[in-house]
Amino acid sequence: MSAERPVPAVPAVPAVPAVPAVPAVVVLGPTAGGKSDVAMALATSASDGERFEIVAVDAMQVYRHMDIGTAKPTAADRTAVPHHLLDLVDPDHDFAVAEFTDAAALARAEIDARGARALLVGGTGLYLRALTDPMEIPGSWPEVRAALEARAAAEPIPQLHAELAALDPVAAAKMEPTNARRVVRALEVCLGSGRPFSSFGPGLDTYPPVPYVQFGLRWARPMLAARIETRVHRMVAAGLVDEVARLLDTFPDLSRTARQALGYKELIEHLEGRVSLDEAVATVVLRTRQFAVRQERWFRRDPRVRWLDIHDDPVAESVPVIERHLASLDQPDRSDPSDRSGSADSHRDHADD
């Protein structure tokens, strides 16, 4: 087993204004939709006096040494525009959403202190909601979780879900009975805290006004599916298999989260001799497409998102629309005050309007 690495303590978080002078900007959407390219275009084309710093909202980009498969921004992009919340921990650490929110609060305080505007980019829905809608985040109980994971490996997940339903029917009703990770987490909290999992905060079904303006990139599914397949093959050509092999050599005890990352899980199976490379790559493509559908469904529930339908070029089709909207927000007499927080009903824009 590898030596346990201490996780650096997150520095004390400076106070962050409850409502910044201008709302932070969010670019969200499914994987392979062009979010990072749009964010870089916004940040590098900002008008005089406007400075953006990018905040990555991605549960896998927090891990060091996982670069190709997580589509991390290039070194050139990170030099051109400040990026935050990348490479926070080694991949043998089980990173929690509470750690992410702590690190994000520190980053936001630094960005605000420099007079810049935060530009959040990502596809991890829970992490994003934890930033836009601060919530009470349950703690962790490793011994309870380990026992539950052992049971999940030996028993049908719906059986554990039935136990959750007895303890917390509200939480159980909001998740699929076969979703092992969510069921185990909810049971861990119920058993470890002695409180229903659903009692932590108002939940994810409320959408109050927040000091963020959110833009979603939406593709027709066949087009996004083609982009996903192209990107997966590019990652393999760029050396993803070697990256996964090095990861296993350096960190034989990968965290359960890192080990389940798309692209890494499947190539680990290949490197362990369980499937061929072609089979592994095909599975990555399939699972990534399925993941993109789940992302879209998650984000679609939020009525505060202004959706931009993309047909070919996400930068050319979305950046002018976003820039026009942000310019209107910076002139309160020309905009709906409620829209400064993105709290109006869901919007749908077309770049060619």
> What does 133-187 look like in DSSP terms, one character per residue?
S--PPP---HHHHHHHHHHHHHS-HHHHHHHHHHH-HHHHHTS-TT-HHHHHHHH
Instruction: Indicate if the pLDDT at residue 110 is higher than 90.
Output: yes
Please name which of 35, 223, 251, 186 lies closest in space to residue 123, comparing C-alpha atoms.
35
Mean pLDDT of 326-333: 76
Q: For 205-209, 234-238, 349-353, which range has the lowest pLDDT when averaged over its residues?
A: 349-353
Q: Where are the alpha helices (DSSP H) in the chain?
A: 35-44, 75-80, 97-113, 125-132, 142-154, 157-167, 169-173, 180-193, 221-237, 240-250, 256-259, 264-271, 277-300, 314-329
Report which secondary-structure segment, H or E, holds 57.
strand 52-57
Mean pLDDT of 294-304: 96
Model confidence at 349, pLDDT cuts 50, 70, 90, reads low
Mean pLDDT of 178-191: 94
Instruction: Indicate if the pLDDT at residue 8 is higher than 90.
Output: no
Domains along the chain with CATH numbers: 24-137+210-220+303-350 (3.40.50.300), 142-199 (1.10.20.140), 223-297 (1.10.287.890)
pLDDT at 21: 52
Please write the tens of the pLDDT for every residue from 307-325. Answer: 999 999 999 999 999 999 9
Antiparallel, parallel or unpaired: β 117-122 and 52-57:
parallel
Mean pLDDT of 31-36: 98
Q: For 44-58, 215-229, 236-250, 286-300, which range has the lowest pLDDT when averaged over its residues?
A: 44-58
CA distance 236 to 201: 41
Instruction: Indicate if the pLDDT at residue 6 is higher than 90.
Output: no
Name the more confident of 206 and 330. Answer: 206
pLDDT-above-90 percentage for the chain: 78
Name the more confident of 350 and 13. Answer: 350
pLDDT at 121: 98
pLDDT at 147: 97
DSSP for residue 123: -
Mean pLDDT of 70-90: 97
Please write the tens of the pLDDT for every residue from 260-284. Answer: 999 999 999 999 999 999 999 999 9
* Site of tokens 């027709």: 220
CA distance 214 to 296: 14
Instruction: Give, in order, the Cα–Cα distances in Å from 109 to each of 104, 112, 279.
Output: 9, 5, 45
Average pLDDT, the chain: 89
Number of alpha carbons in the 13 Å side-chain half-sphere of residue 142: 6
Instruction: Indicate if the pLDDT at residue 137 is higher than 60.
Output: yes
Model confidence at 132, pLDDT cuts 50, 70, 90, reads very high
Instruction: Indicate if the pLDDT at residue 343 is higher than 90.
Output: no
